[in-house]
Amino acid sequence: MSDASDSLQQLLAFDSQHIWHPYAAMPNPVETFLVEKAEGVMLTLKDGRELIDGMSSWWAAIHGYNHPVLNEAIKSQLDKMAHVMFGGLTHEPAIKLCKTLVEITPEPLQKVFLSDSGSVSVEVAIKMALQYWLSQGKAEKHRLLTLKGGYHGDTFATMAVCDPVNGMHHLFDKVLTQHLFAEAPSCFYAGTDGNDNWHASHLDNLKDMLQQHHHEVAAVILEPIVQGTGGMNFYAPKFLQGIRELCDEFDVLLILDEIATGFGRTGKLFGCNHSDSPERNKEFSPDILCLGKTLTAGYMTLAATLCTDKVANGISQGEVPVLMHGPTYMGNPLACTVANTSIELLLQQKWQANIKRIEQGLIEGLQSAKEIKDVADVRVLGAIGVIELEQPVDMKTIQPMFVENGIWIRPFGKLVYTMPPYITDNRTLSLLCQKINNVLESYL
Please list the active-site residues. 23, 151, 257, 293
- The amino acid occupying position 436 is I
Q: How many helices (H) and strands (E) does the chain have?
A: 13, 16
Phi/psi at 358 (nearest 5 deg)? Answer: -65, -40
How far is Cα 74 from Cα 63, in angstroms, rounded to an integer? 15
Helices 333-347 and 68-80: crossing angle in degrees, nearest 10, is 150
Radius of gyration of the chain from Cα atoms? Answer: 22
3-class SS of residue 306: strand
The pair phi, psi for residue 308, each rounded to 5°, is: -80, 165
Report cis status (omega within 30 of 0) of the bond before 27: yes
Q: In Å, how far from its chain's centre is CA 427? A: 27
CA distance 105 to 111: 11
Annotate 26-66 with three-state secondary structure: CCCCCCCCCEEEEEECEEEECCCCEEEECCHHHHCCCCCEC
Torsion angles phi and psi, residue 43, rounded to 5:
-105, 130
432 in Cβ contact with 407 (< 8 Å): yes
Residue 395 CB neighbour total at 10 angstroms: 16
DSSP, collapsed to helix, strand or coil, labels residue 182 as: strand
Distances (CA, A) of 443 to 29, 33, 105, 388, 389: 20, 20, 42, 14, 11
Question: Strand order in 180-182's β-sheet?
Answer: 109-115, 303-308, 288-291, 253-257, 217-222, 143-147, 180-182
> Distance between CA atoms of 69 and 293, rounded to whole angstroms?
19
CB atoms within 10 A of CB 187: 20
Let me know: does 121 contact 304? Beta carbons within 8 Å: yes
Q: Pairing state of beta strands 217-222 and 226-227?
A: unpaired
- Contact between 438 and 365 (Cβ < 8 Å): no
